[in-house]
Amino acid sequence: MIPKIKILLPIEISSRELLYKVYLSNHLASLGFECYLGTKANISWLIERSKGFIYFDKGFHKGVSESLYSKIKENNGIIVSLDEEGAIDFKDGSVLGVRYDLELFKVATVVFFWGTVQYENSNFLGLGVSNRTISGHPRFQLLKKEYQFLYERETNVIRKKFGKFVLINTNMSFGNNIRGEQFVRRNYGNRFKNLAGIIENDKRKMRHIVSLCKRFSQLNVKVILRPHPEENVTYYDDNFIGIDNIVITKDYSAVSWILVSEQMIHIDCTTGVEALMLGRKSIAYVPEELDKSLLTCLPLSLSYVISEESEVVEHCLRSEFAETKDSIFDDKILSQYFSFSTDSFAVISAKLQDIRTMLLPGINTISRLSFFMRAFRMFTRNILLGKDELVSQKQRGFDWKKISDLHLIIKGSKKEFASNTCRRILDGLYVIRN
């Protein structure tokens, strides 16, 4: 029996990536692929021991990605790229300019783009367009009506537990990182032109969000504050001691919270885009003192922008913006930057089927002993060094129970998925196959 082509899918932020990657894995498994979902560390370990596979890259990081790409090529692997930050950028385009680097196009067999704008902006690199495809993004496709059953379990729990509330999503991972400011400067200093300014802007955002939450609290409005996965929750805990109607949580997906909320507020968070895709236009709270050049553009353009705290509160109390207004502009942005009407799963799977013909399946030489030793080393490392708090926070919910539950719901939704199986290999490494 000829071994199936392996697809390796790293998962970094569970709340953002897990659902769509389990769905995509079921879709690809039904087409004859063998899909491995794992932490970045486990996928890197698997890369070193595999031959003839497809690696699903989630973003180019200069100075980091090159060595990984080299190892993939040494082992006859193919790189396809679908960036997790593939549209959200500052006005100067500095984020995507770094993430869609020339080196990525030299090594990737296919680079998937969220929309036509990003696709066209990449043409200046001068390498032609043979390895570039507009696909949209599967996690946005799952926001469409026909897929919203996937969130029902979570939305039912949230609705029963919390009742009515205003949702506030934050994204201050530079100014409030769980590893501290020095880590941010070391890790991101070469990726952003004005990192110091972004950090200071984040700190201003934090102060305004705290003030807004307290204003709602004083009016007996329940607030769910959902920090970015990389943020230090302690900052918010310290500011809301003794305030019962402000709940700080990272449980469940942002989508589930948006679907249940009375109103959603952000400053310049991607959840503002997701809310519109779900049919609900959110409020972008942008105080005047913030540096607007250091705010990402698309979440603001697709939200109602309000600069005064009192006005935000007033509109939420009146529920004035609870429903999306018809807007040709909104639809145009969703089309140009997100290809929202595109069937992302169909585009991606068609490309991967074409790529399959370029590979001879490698023989899986990974022994049970190798897996046992990997598990033992992981266990020992956690005992000696303790778990990395940032990594643990970002991978919250990436466990066997969550994956097996999602898999059962998804495989029951389409007859093509009915014979797919899901198996745990290690903690943080799972395989879905037919």
HEC string for 51-96: CCEEEEECCCCCCCHHHHHHHHHHCCCEEEEECCCCCCCCCCCHHH
| Residue 220 is assigned to a structural domain of this protein | yes
| Residue 128 is assigned to a structural domain of this protein | yes
Q: How far is CA 357 from the centre of its chain?
A: 30
The pair of structure tokens assigned to 257 is 């919270």
Residue finishing a domain among 338, 360, 378? 338
- In whole angstroms, what is the distance from residue 189 CA to residue 204 CA? 20
Mean pLDDT of the chain: 88
**Under a CB-based contact definition with an 8 Å cutoff, are residues 312 and 265 in contact?**
yes
Are 203 and 299 in a shared domain? Answer: yes
- In whole angstroms, what is the distance from residue 249 CA to residue 225 CA? 6
Residue 231's contacts (CB-CB under 8 Å, 6 or more residues apart) are 170, 172, 173, 176, 177, 178
**pLDDT at residue 356 in the model:** 86
Neighbours of 416 (CB within 10 A): 14
**pLDDT at residue 364 in the model:** 57
- In whole angstroms, what is the distance from residue 414 CA to residue 408 CA? 11
Residue-wise pLDDT tens digits, 176-202: 999 999 998 988 877 777 889 999 999
Residue-wise pLDDT tens digits, 309-327: 999 998 888 765 455 556 7
Are 233 and 345 in a shared domain? Answer: no
Amino acid at 36: Y
Query: What is the gyration radius of the CA atoms in the chain, in angstroms?
Result: 22
Are 184 and 230 in a shared domain? Answer: yes
Q: Which of 166, 177, 112 is nearest to 138 (CA)?
A: 112
| Residue 108 is assigned to a structural domain of this protein | yes
Helix (H, G, I), strand (E, B) or coil at 419: coil
Are 21 and 137 in a shared domain? Answer: yes
| Residue 212 is assigned to a structural domain of this protein | yes
| Residue 355 is assigned to a structural domain of this protein | yes
Residue finishing a domain among 294, 310, 338? 338
**pLDDT at residue 365 in the model:** 62
**Under a CB-based contact definition with an 8 Å cutoff, are residues 296 and 94 in contact?**
no
Residue finishing a domain among 338, 360, 389? 338
- Kindly list the distances between the CA atom of residue 252 and the CA atoms of 65, 353, 407, in Å, as whole numbers in the listed order: 30, 33, 16
Are 330 and 212 in a shared domain? Answer: yes
Are 132 and 34 in a shared domain? Answer: yes
Are 345 and 427 in a shared domain? Answer: yes
Helix (H, G, I), strand (E, B) or coil at 272: helix
Are 135 and 21 in a shared domain? Answer: yes
Q: Measure the CA angle with vertex 250, ends 94 and 156; round to 5°.
A: 120
**pLDDT at residue 321 in the model:** 47
Bridge partners of 423, per DSSP, are 431
Are 181 and 262 in a shared domain? Answer: yes
Q: What is the DSSP letter of 17?
A: H
Are 200 and 284 in a shared domain? Answer: yes
What range defines the domain where residue 58 resides? 6-141+339-433
Mean pLDDT, contiguous 10-residue spans, the chain (434 residues): 82 92 96 94 90 91 89 93 80 73 89 90 67 93 94 95 94 92 85 87 95 94 93 94 93 93 93 92 94 90 93 81 64 92 95 85 65 76 74 83 94 94 93 94
| Residue 322 is assigned to a structural domain of this protein | yes
**pLDDT at residue 96 in the model:** 73
Are 24 and 137 in a shared domain? Answer: yes
Are 301 and 208 in a shared domain? Answer: yes
**pLDDT at residue 259 in the model:** 95
Quick one: which H or E segment has residue 305?
strand 304-306
**Under a CB-based contact definition with an 8 Å cutoff, are residues 57 and 81 in contact?**
yes
- In whole angstroms, what is the distance from residue 268 CA to residue 32 CA? 40
Neighbours of 234 (CB within 10 A): 11
CATH number for the domain harbouring residue 415: 3.40.50
- In whole angstroms, what is the distance from residue 129 CA to residue 106 CA? 12
Instruction: Tell me how many domains the chain contains.
Output: 2
Helical axes 309-318 vs 195-218, angle rounded to 10°: 50
Neighbours of 62 (CB within 10 A): 13
| Residue 1 is assigned to a structural domain of this protein | no
| Residue 176 is assigned to a structural domain of this protein | yes
**Secondary structure percentages of the chain, helix, strand, coil, to 5:** 50, 15, 35
- In whole angstroms, what is the distance from residue 143 CA to residue 124 CA? 32
